[in-house]
Structure formats: C-alpha cells, structure tokens
Chains A and B, each alone.
Chain A
C-alpha cells in the first residue's frame, strides 16, 4: 500500500506538531513509525486514521485524497482498523459484543452472521474462552488482542496501531507482537507506532522517524537501523539502544 502526505501541517495552538510535511511511502506489509515521545507519531497516525484533519495539506492513501467532511471521513474510517494504546474496548460489552457491534451497526451484518464472524476471529487469536467476559475481566494483553480482533473482523484495507503494547508488561507485549507478526505474514498491511525497536527491525519493511515537526528519515528497516543518515535519528537510536 501507499501513503502520501503533501504539505501537511497540524498544529495545536502554537505547537506545530507537523510542519509542512511532504512524504511518500510505499510498502507491502509494515510501516513502522518511531521517534521521541511528543514527536508527533500519534498526531500523524490520527490523521491517517481519519480521526483528525490536517490544518492544511493533503493526505493520500493508495492514491486517493482524504476528503475533509466528517461524513466522508467516517466512510473512510469504516474501511480501516485503528487500535490505540489502551482503552479501545467498550467496558460494558463482552469481548464478543465488542467485535459484533461494528459488524452489525456499521457494516450491516445480521446478528447471527456477526456473532459467527466474531467467534471466528476470537478463535484465531485464542480468545474464544474469554468471548463472554467484559474487558474489566481480561488482562491487558487480552484486551489489546480483542481490540485487534475487532479491527480485523471488518476485513479492513489496512490496520493502524498506535503503540499497542506500550501499556503492557513484557510477557503480554510478546503475546500481542506475536499476533501482529502473524498478521504480517497473512499480508495484512499495517502502519504501526512502536517503541519496540527489535520488532520494528524484524518486521517492518519501512521505518520512519517522526520528530521536530516532521518525518526526518524514512528507510527500509535494515538500512534505517544499521546506517541512519540524519544526526537526529542517530542520536535517538543511540539513546534508546544504549541499554
């Protein structure tokens, strides 16, 4: 898939988080966004998810520009899957009903068909035993996997994941990364914000470094980590790979 930003600016007050960013990336499986906290990764992902609009500029996904009206952005959002860091699930609904809700209310499946599809996906993620539990009774890793299952059940064109493991302990992190790695092998395009450098290096086709108002560097994972070109990237990698 292909994403393209043309002169995209997004500011919060005087804080220009994305400052006239132009960028193009074409990749088969995984695009990883990395960078310092506060650098604008989530802001960029929310623009790509159609949750926010840029102040100016154009975003193109697979060659099609995102329109600005909430109505058309909603139609766009219905074709993709987005998973945040935490609190994705609706706490008053069971895991199954969390998956069923968009299938029935947004995608027009019958209740029975939706439940069957939900159980299918939950089965694939080894979550079927927890299908009737509300999120409060699930572990953090299970919650994130249910959230990914919900995003996947609608058969999205691609997935957007914003630090899906950063609220989890190491064991649960591995459990969620396993799922993402599996999706990758199934050919599901993914744009992923992550702090897991090992995972980015292993699984990403492209890695983009987001900081200081823009995308400072974007390269295939191998090159990016072994031979970073900008000093900012080098400094960042040095800092986080120190321990």
Chain B
C-alpha cells in the first residue's frame, strides 16, 4: 500500500492518483446508494420538473455573466477612485468597498430589495438583484485590482513617465496589462464565487437555480432528490473555473 502515500522524497506515481480518485468516487457513491436508496423513490417525479431546473440553471448563468461584467466595471472604477488624489472621490470609494465588504450578502439582498428598492418603488426583481450582486462582488474585485495595481513597481511608473506617457496612457499600456496577468486567477475565483452567491437571490423570488430547486421540492415533497441536482448543477459550473484558476496560477508563477 506504499503507493497510497504521496511524500516529497518519494512521490506516488500518476496511476496511483487516478486509481485512488476513481476508487474513492465509486466507494462514496456506493455508500450513499446503500444508505439512501431504500428511502428515495421520487426520481421520476423530480425528472418531470427538469425544465424548471434547466430554466433556473440558465438564469443563474445569465445573472452571473451580467453581474461579472457589471462588477468588473464597479471594481475597476472603485480601485481607480481609491487611488485618486481627489479626496471626495477616494473616500467615496473607500466607503463603498469597506461597507459592502463588512456586511453579509444576505443583508444586502434583503435590505437592498425590500428596503431600498421597494422604498423607491422599483420592483423589478431581476435588475435589482443583479445590481445588488454586482455591487457586492465589485467591492471584492476592487480590492483585487487595487492590490494588483500596487504590486506593479514604482520603476514602471518612472519608466512610463520618462518616455512621456500621460497617466491615462500609463494605465492603459503599462499598468493594466500587468495587473490583468496577475489578477486573472483571483478574478476567475471571484467569478466562481459570483455563481454560488447568486443563489441568495432566491430569497427575493428570482427564479434562478436555487429557487427552482425549492419549487421542485415543495411540489414533489422530495427534498433529497430536489437538492442533490442543485449541488451538482453548481459544481458543473464552478469546478471547471476552479481548475482553470489553478492552471492560471501555475502559469503566472512560472513566468515571474
């Protein structure tokens, strides 16, 4: 059984890793099947609601994609504002980033929709939900981008000024390309978080994936069969991003 141990001085072979992973998958599946199979019979019923799942899944993807673009815009704007010499702009950015990062998303969703949006008579759940999610994610992206900008050395600013670039040109041609290369892994991770976090929009009645699973659950009285696909659907989206992130990280660390 020596091959089951992956030690620094004696790494286990690649085949051992594959065999272990597949073996464990089979083992855990069999275990679950053995425990739950007798009490679960409602797969056919849930299968009848597959369109609900699918629509919810598509909406989750759509919300995440739009929120990704919006939150990147918010994040870049806040990061730049935070570095601006004009104090009102800088403090506004700090206020935004720090308050949003200091409260749970659940609070933002409830307060933003039932509190603020309702007060303003804005009752379109979907745009309000996407906006709240984007503001939330934007605050985190702002910090990722700010630290990315700060990690570009002073010598790069000096060189850019020495050749006569304007500050805007410096950001465009010198700083952002380097920031992008460095922040792509954390930004990809942020996208995975966005997909998971969008599940909280179910509490304001947006029919995304989690909301769909809840509906199927209450219609079929089969919690396990309704919620297991829910988890799988999220994993199908987030696992590839997570793997991609890992490979990006490896590439960045080799280059520098």
Interface on A for B, CB 8 Å cutoff? 49, 51, 74-75, 77-78, 82, 84, 86-92, 101-102, 105-106, 136, 150-151, 154
Contacts and interface: CB of A to CB of B under 8 A. Distances in A.
B159 interface: yes
18 contacts: A51-B158, A51-B161, A74-B164, A77-B162, A77-B163, A84-B159, A84-B162, A87-B155, A88-B155, A89-B159, A90-B159, A90-B160, A90-B174, A102-B164, A102-B165, A105-B165, A106-B169, A150-B163
B174 to A, nearest CB: 6
A49 B120 CA distance: 55
Interface of B: 153, 155-156, 158-166, 169, 173-174, 177-178, 181, 255-256
A101 B173 contact: yes
A77 B164 contact: yes
Which of A75, A90, A151: most chain B Cβ within 10 A? A90
B252 to A, nearest CB: 12
Which of B161, B162, B181: most chain A Cβ within 10 A? B162
A145 to B, nearest CB: 15
A51 B153 CA distance: 16
Contacts of B155: 84, 86-88
A84 B158 contact: yes
Contacts of A88: 155, 159
Closest 10 interchain pairs by CB?
Answer: A78-B164, A87-B155, A102-B163, A82-B162, A106-B164, A92-B177, A77-B164, A88-B159, A92-B178, A90-B174
Nearest to B181: A92
B130 to A, nearest CB: 33
Given A90-B178, A136-B255, 20 more contacts: A49-B162, A74-B161, A74-B164, A77-B162, A77-B164, A78-B164, A84-B159, A84-B162, A87-B159, A88-B155, A88-B159, A91-B178, A101-B173, A102-B163, A105-B165, A105-B169, A105-B173, A106-B163, A150-B163, A154-B163
A77 B161 contact: yes
A20 to B, nearest CB: 26
Contacts, number: 54
B171 to A, nearest CB: 12
Nearest to B154: A87
Nearest to A82: B162
Given A90-B174, A92-B178, A136-B255, A106 B165 contact: yes
A150 to B, nearest CB: 7
B183 to A, nearest CB: 13
Contacts of A78: 163-164
Contacts of A136: 255-256
Contacts of A90: 156, 159-160, 173-174, 178
A238 B12 CA distance: 62
A89 to B, nearest CB: 7
Contact of A74 (B166, B174, B177, B255): B166
